[in-house]
Structure 1
Amino acid sequence: MSDTTAAPAVPLIHDVPADAILTVEDAAIAFGQVRALKGASMHARRGEVTAIVGDNGAGKSTLIRCISGVHAPDSGRITFDGHEVEFKTPHAARDAGIETVHQNLALVEDLTVWQNLFLNREIVRGVGPLRLLDRRAMRSRADEMVSSLAVNVPAVGSRVRRLSGGQRQAVSICRAAGFASKLIIMDEPTAALGVQETARVEELITRLKSEGHAILLISHNFAQVLRLSDAVWVMRAGRCVAGRRTAQTDGDEIVGLITGARAGDIPVEAA
């Protein structure tokens, strides 16, 4: 006789835990006739790596831009660190403790490492109109930031254009982690890197997690998601259609949820 016992359902993570640092509820936004988000809901916990996956056009980038203050959602609610927030600009999100490592890294090649670390955050001394950049303080602080994360970066006086792809990524992550950030958003942090540089960046992500940072990871690399994340949210057609604890799912289920071969836990409107 065949065994007809049903496999236990994979626990969902829609119920927001007490230690959630970020909660997004029914976020929706449209650009003209295009509805980029159609009521997306998710959360991220303190001291964890939370992955967001989905096909191109699923809404991942729009969602993180709403979280990081680039876009203001048309409706819905975002709660961060216990407070409902409405970030009008990326600077407002940064001031609240949200840092974003963009896929293009947002580094200025002709500036040095320390200058990039303090770009738009320059330390100045003096009062009134007699205020000067404190270059010594910024270089010293940059040395501390780089050494504390064990980042494989040359001297902080090196120009970014001379750095490898992995070193540039490390500078961008170091900048995000070095200013008392509570949540670090990473958009495809290893997409353009080789095997060794990818491993170094993944080690850095693990280190940041061990130090208590919450990390929101957007990645098309499912093996990387399964290695690094504690929870994963699947987006399709502008919504988070499923949430899983990573230890209780696998690549086949994630692919099925992304493609629609497996039904999500939240109904999705036809595209």
Structure 2
Amino acid sequence: MTTTHDETLTKDTEAQDDTPVVELKTAGKSYGNIRALHGVSLAVRPGKVTCVLGDNGAGKSTLIKIVSGLHQHTEGEFLVDNTPVRFSTPRDALDKGIATVYQDLATVPLMPVWRNFFLGSEMTKGPWPVRRLDIEKMKKTADEELRNMGIVLDDLEQPIGTLSGGQRQCVAIARAVYFGARVLILDEPTAALGVKQSGVVLKYIAAARDRGLGVIFITHNPHHAYMVGDHFSVLRLGTVELSASRSEVSLEELTNHMAGGTELAALKHELAQVRGVDVEELPEAEDITAPVTASSEVSPS
């Protein structure tokens, strides 16, 4: 059967679209004798949400710092567009289109929304040395970009500190998209939010994915991750315990790995000896699904 030019072009485009923008291959980080991360493989593709889950101390923060340019990996490979990189500063990561939205958002609460949108990258007009802020253009651009993400604010002059936590997260996401992010790292964006505000943030994570961004969603909440995630990596003590696509893992299995199901199963017989503790619903050791290895995350060479 003869393959037409259009079919060949479509296949090439699909293959190109599936190429990871950011990829870690058995990467790790050591601080002296302390190994914070070891053998972690992760691929972030355009238009996909990669969820990284783990309890406190699992290695999530170290992973963020490597990808965002704060720290350098000490083992393995870190690739951007299939090219090995070693960032010296977060500016290097930004230049490659990798933007990070941290939990504290790095906003100035008393400044207007539009001013926070352009904080550090203000638009100016007029000849040097009497250039001044182009306030009207910044307001118009901020309003347009927020609306493109589905965020409608009645007053961009209001201090950003008056917005809800979910709204501030969404402004930060829209800002990163506007300034050319190709990969968006979200550090626990729903950790301090209620159910409704968490839903707002998850909606805009999906919106960022639909605009073609690769998203790294760092969270300790498997329910939030499963709502928007395409691929899931669970970290435990600096290594990948589970790496699976959405079709390969159920919410129950993801929650079980996140909650340390193996440890709970091992402790079941001890808990049974404590009066008033119902252990009937706890899993047996043989019921725990074997973790998918990180090898499924690495693209074939």
Does the alignment reach a TM-score above 0.5? yes
Q: Kindly indicate whether residue 62 of structure 2 is the aligned counterpart of residue 81 of structure 1.
A: no
1:54 and 2:50 correspond:
no
Aligned to 1:146: 146
- Structure whose residues are more often strand by fraction: 1
C-alpha change, 1:18 and 1:175, in structure 2 (3 Å) is closer
State whether residues 18 and 46 of structure 2, in contact with CA within 8 Å, keep that contact through their aligned partners in structure 1.
Answer: no
- In the alignment, the residues of structure 1 paired with residue 224 and residue 134 of structure 2 have an alpha-carbon distance, to the nearest angstrom, of 40
* SS of equivalent to 2:76: strand
Question: What is the 5 A alignment of 1:32-181?
Answer: 32-126=32-126, 128-181=128-181
- Please state how far the C-alpha of 1:83 moved relative to its aligned partner: 2.5
- Deviation sequence 1:29-59 (CA, Å, 0-9, x none): 2234322112321112211111001121110
Task: Measure the CA separation in 2 of the matches of 1:32 and 1:112.
Answer: 44
Query: Considering only aligned residues, what root-mean-square deviation do their CA atoms show, in Å?
Result: 2.1
- Measure, in 2, the Cα distance between the counterparts of 1:106 and 1:166: 14
How far apart are the structure 2 equivalents of 1:228 and 1:18?
Answer: 18
What percent of counterpart residues are identical? Answer: 36
In structure 1, stretches of 5+ residues that fail to align are: 1-16
Contact 2:244 2:292 (C-alpha < 8 Å) held by counterparts: no
Q: Which residue identity is paired with 2:207?
A: R
Distance 2:90 2:115 in 1: 20
Is the partner of 2:131 in helix, strand or coil?
A: strand
Q: Contact 2:243–2:293 (CA<8 Å) still a contact in 1?
A: no
Aligned to 2:249: 249
Q: How does 1:254-269 map to 2 (within 5 A)?
A: 254-258=254-258, 259=260, 261=262, 263-266=290-293
Deviation at 1:256, TM superposition (A): 4.2
Q: Is the 8 A contact 2:47 2:211 kept in 1?
A: yes
- Single out whichever of 76-85 and 182-191 deviates more from structure 2: 76-85
What CA distance in whole angstroms lies between the structure 1 residues aligned with 2:212 and 2:155? 27
User: Which residue number in structure 1 is paired with residue 216 of structure 2?
Assistant: 216
How far residue 75 of structure 1 moved from its aligned partner, in angstroms, is: 2.7
After superposition, give the CA deviation of every residue in 1:111-169 in whole Å (9 maximum; x if it has no partner).
11111111121223345544332222222211111111111434222111211212211
Moved segments of 4+, more than 3 Å: 125-131, 255-258, 262-267
Quick check: 1:101–1:172 contact (8 Å CA) kept in 2?
yes
Aligned-residue offset at 1:253: 2.5
CA contact (8 A) 1:152 1:167 kept: no
Tell me the equivalent position of 2:239: 239
Aligned to 2:27: 27
The one-letter amino acid paired with 1:206 is: A
Q: What's the CA shift for 1:236?
A: 1.3
Max Rg structure: 2
Runs of at least 5 residues in structure 2 that lack an aligned partner in the other structure: 1-16, 263-287, 295-301
Partner residue of 1:189?
Answer: 189
Evaluate the alpha carbon distance shift between residue 153 and residue 197 of structure 1 in structure 2; reply closer, same or farther with a 3 A threshold: farther
Q: Whole-Å Cα distance in 2 between the matches of residues 153 and 77 of structure 1?
A: 43
Contact 1:153 1:170 in 2 (8 A): no
> In 2 relative to 1, CA 155–81 (structure 1 residues): closer, same or farther, beyond 3 Å?
farther
Once the two structures are TM-superposed, the CA of residue 62 in structure 1 deviates from its matched residue by 0.8
Shift of residue 26, structure 1, vs aligned partner: 2.3
Q: Partners in 2 of 1:58 and 1:168 — Cα distance?
A: 27
Distance in structure 2 (CA, Å) of the matches to 1:87 and 1:206: 28
Larger RCO: 1 or 2 (CA < 8 Å, sep 6+): 1
Q: CA deviation at 1:86?
A: 1.7
